[in-house]
Amino acid sequence: MTALPDVHPPKARARRRRNSLTPWLFLAPGMLMFAVYVLIPIFQSVWVSFHEWDGLDRCIGSDWPII
């Protein structure tokens, strides 16, 4: 006799994949806000610290006549 292939594992596999994705969907907005408000400023400050920039650049419109 030959055994029939089991039909149920793909459903279980899809459910397992969906269950492993659900926590990441809940964490995504918080991780995005953390990146925008914490990680990006940290990397920008590291970039500024390695360059000779005093933070007081000349204004673009400083040589324009006052109207």
Average pLDDT rounded to a whole number, residues 20-34: 94
pLDDT for residue 19: 78
Q: How far is CA 59 from CA 45, 51, 54, in A?
A: 21, 19, 14
For the chain, percent helix, then strand, then coil, each to nearest 5?
60, 0, 40
pLDDT for residue 51: 81
Q: Encode pLDDT of 28-52 as tens digits.
A: 999 999 999 999 999 999 988 888 7
Residue for token digits 């926590």? 23
pTM above 0.75, yes or no: no
Percentage of the chain modeled with pLDDT above 90: 31
pLDDT for residue 50: 86
Q: Say how far apart CA 9 and CA 3 lie, in whole Å.
A: 15
Where in the chain are the domains?
23-47
